[in-house]
Amino acid sequence: MGLSLSPLTRLGVFGGAFDPPHLAHVALVQAAIDQLQLDQVRVVPTGNAWHKPQPLTDAEHRLAMTRLAFGHLPQVVVDEREVIRTGPSYTVDTLHELQGEFPLAQLYLLIGDDQRKALPSWHQIAEIGRIAIICAAGRDVAVRAWNEGSPGLQALPPISDTLQARIRTLQMPLMPHRATDIRGLAATEQSMTGLVPPAVERYIHEHHLYRPH
């Protein structure tokens, strides 16, 4: 696999639960392809989500929905490695594997704006910053300032200067999509139009996902 794709020089990596994948996920990947001139993006559904308070939907469904959501983007490959991997799955392990498979490629780790704030708590974040350029989705400046200035929000640990130097911002419109809200709509059989790709909405309905047991 590595030999056949070795000409890749700019490889994006976008991980997440994708439970379900929504239009903000798709927009982030499209923005990264356009703004970073990526040759390929590996979209990597989470395997054993040790950090999630609730169990994820079966990997089979999350993989199927992810393929439907990104199927129109020829640069995207849905990568199953974290689903196959046993035990806790860390981003740094995935980056190390991809670095070995594509030694000539610069890796770009794609994350949402909310994940940017949590970076100092990530497992081996210094090593992640060494291996990959971190590209975080931008958000509306006024909304970000209001959120960060609101009373009662937990103080966020600072990002080191070394790590900050490895972070770039992807320009994209504010898209306050939340998988939690989408699952709530699906649970009550409400429309998800404008929140998830149509094919993903059909899949959720056809397989009765997120319905209360």
Q: What pLDDT is stored for residue 106 in this prediction?
A: 97
Average pLDDT, the chain: 87
Cα 139 from Cα 106, distance rounded (Å): 25
Q: What pTM does this model have?
A: 0.87
User: Of residues 13 and 89, which shows the higher confidence score?
Assistant: 13
Report residue 53's pLDDT band, with 50, 70 and 90 as the boundaries.
Answer: low
Cite the beta strand spans of the chain per DSSP E: 10-16, 40-45, 76-78, 106-111, 132-137, 167-170
The pLDDT tens digits of the residues spanning 155-188 come to 456 788 888 888 999 998 888 789 999 999 999 9
Cα 76 from Cα 97, distance rounded (Å): 18
Domains of the chain: 10-176 (3.40.50.620)
- The answer, yes or no, to whether residue 6 has pLDDT greater than 80, is no
Angle at 119 between CA 113 and CA 122, to 5 degrees: 135
Cα 73 from Cα 129, distance rounded (Å): 27
Dihedral angle, C-alpha 122, 52, 108, 146, nearest 10 °: -80
The pLDDT tens digits of the residues spanning 56-65 come to 999 999 999 9
C-alpha separations of 115 from 15, 87, 122, 167, 195 in Å:
11, 22, 9, 12, 20
Cα 108 from Cα 134, distance rounded (Å): 6
State the average pLDDT over residues 114-132. Answer: 93
- The answer, yes or no, to whether residue 133 has pLDDT greater than 60, is yes
